[in-house]
Structure 1
């Protein structure tokens, strides 16, 4: 049976919190399936604070950071943050992580490496599962891990990143556009990564990032939709 297509919106946390909550309530009322909150510390309100408030202001939306990274917060902090949000919205939360874009450039650093991505996702997954994780020889365990499954989705655009997402994540947020040839190659890389961990492409959640511009006329909408 074919899975239904779900539509989520990414929300930049650039407005005051009361306005953000009104927007999130309207997104839910309009019938969208989920909302992701931008994680860029110099541009947006704190992602996990917004997600926590969103959990109490909505009842159905899937909620997630869009997209967090491995370096502005320690992996243990990330695990604790998403676990806390999940307690407020059980079954409605997923963890979306990438290498960082404006979260890196605005503080003068480069995006995370794929090795850092692998390490961070491994730590977060282990902590959320209630497992003990080694921190430079010190074992650590998330004392309040609920052990409920929180899907981990990795944002990726290049071939190596897409393969890593297929290998270690529960899904991939693909930022590759919609050219048929590029889409087919992206899926090939995702499947190649999935096979490394004994999985199929069908076992993964696949999310396609779509840039949209909304305006009173077509020309302005196209301008807004440009990268």
Structure 2
């Protein structure tokens, strides 16, 4: 299993770069960031500095969208970074949430998302693509390579992911929900004639390490991560509006938003978010990874058995460095394949 971190590009940008360097030191393979240009600093500017400060780590957005970003410009950004730093970028993409809603816009439809994935991937992989009745290609890009991973929750979005995604990003760490969604993506891939095993599966969720033994400590962990249930709830609300509450979608995903009254994007992704009190403790525990290193390893092992190939840890809490250290010294080694010097 690979390991990533997910950061917000809050100023100073040097802090994002510092955490990326620290993550690479502790064995993380990916550094993702939010992409919401009103709420945070421009990530693609910072990616260049993140890549310059590291040797191997792969960087990219979790997630960008087809509405606020021109597809050809996105592809050019990735291809340029790849030329500069040696194919160390990745594109996570979805229909759009905070980046579009803060502008009073709407998430892109799935047809637009499908087209965007195709255009970005072809151009950023040094291939030509048809767009606006023209065939275009970057004449300066040679050997650029980019995977495009799709973030999805609903049935049709999962179907699309299986049809076109190099990977699937699931922004929650509940094994039961993950099993249902991974199966949906694999079934779609197989029906399309793709190899389901070739698709990467990334679970992204807050990770908070500690002893997790005292009720007070456990409660603090939950409060630091409760914002995540509110963020996921934005997407769940769209799913419930479209499919209702009696669909095949797991009840564990849809039922918890019954008390949701709205969402203020000014507190998006923030610990202590004042309007996510509707998120129950059970959902925080199910969606996130909390507790001792052993607790984390147990849940990650369960997810790995489902086919998860990467866990990306959101670090929007007050325990960033310690969580990175604990993962680097305890969790990542425990999840690595055992290799012996002699046999």
* Shorter-chain TM-score above 0.5: yes
Residues 197-212 of structure 1 mapped to structure 2, 5 A cutoff:
197-212=192-207
Counterpart among 82, 106, 113 of residue 86 in structure 1 = 82
Structure 2: distance between partners of 1:159 and 1:137 = 31
Partner of 2:292: none
Q: Distance in 1 between matches of 2:34 and 2:69?
A: 15
Shift of 1:176: 4.8
Structure 1 CA distance for aligned equivalents of residues 208 and 79 of structure 2: 33
Shift of 1:114: 0.7
Once residues 221 and 176 of structure 1 are traced to their aligned partners in structure 2, the CA distance between those partners, rounded to angstroms, is 16
SS, match of residue 134 in structure 1: strand
Q: Which moved more, 1:74-83 or 1:12-21?
A: 12-21
Segments of 5+ residues of structure 2 without an aligned counterpart are 211-215, 230-343
CA distance in 2, matches of 1:60, 1:37: 17
Number of residue-to-residue matches in the alignment: 222
Deviations 1:65-84 (A, max 9, x none): 11111111111001001111
Find the counterpart in structure 2 of residue 222 from structure 1. Answer: 222
Does residue 1:35 correspond to 2:31, yes or no? yes
- Asked if structure 2 preserves the Cα contact closer than 8 Å seen for 1:214 and 1:224, the reply is no
* Displacement after TM superposition at 1:61 (Å): 1.2
2:105 matches 1:112: no
- Tell me the residue number matched to 1:136: 132
Q: Distance in 1 between matches of 2:118 and 2:179?
A: 28
Whether the aligned pair in 1 keeps the contact of 2:121 and 2:147 (CA below 8 Å) is no
Higher helix share: 2
Q: 2:79 touches 2:125 (CA, 8 Å); kept in 1? A: no
Return the index of the structure with the highest Cα Rg. Answer: 2
- Taking structure 2 as the reference length, what is the TM-score of the superposition? 0.61
Structure-to-structure mapping, 1:59-98, within 5 angstroms? 59-98=55-94
| Superposition RMSD in Å | 1.9
- Summarize the Cα distance change of 1:218–1:45 in structure 2 as closer, same or farther, 3 Å threshold: same
TM-score of the superposed pair, with normalisation by structure 1:
0.90
The CA deviation at 1:13 is: 0.2
1:25 and 2:21 are equivalent in the alignment? yes
